[in-house]
Amino acid sequence: MKLSEEKAGMVYRTVREVRGPLLFVEGVRGARYNEVVEVKLADGSEIIGTVLDVYEDRAVIQVFGHTEG
């Protein structure tokens, strides 16, 4: 999976864990609570998510769609 923020041109490929609709991402810079993000899945499809929590360089993202793929 690839987590990207199109406006700022940021792309993160450090999804460390997926638990249902939650993605745990490391190496994040500049993410903000409640920010809307785009998640590109391995098959090329895209789903939308929102940032639920940010701590240091980690973020928890809730996605609105299937995380399998």
Instruction: Give all strands of the β-sheet with 22-26 in edge-to-edge order.
Output: 10-12, 2-5, 36-40, 46-55, 58-63, 22-26, 15-19
Q: What is the pLDDT of residue 60?
A: 95
CATH of the domain spanning 2-63: 2.40.10
Summary mean pLDDT of the chain: 82
**Domain boundaries, given as residue ranges, for the chain:** 2-63
Q: Once rounded to an integer, what is the mean pLDDT over residues 18-43? A: 89
User: Which DSSP category does 8 fall into?
Assistant: T
| pTM score of the predicted model | 0.77
Residue 22 has pLDDT above 50, yes or no: yes
Tens-digit pLDDT profile for residues 42-61 = 788 888 999 999 999 999 99
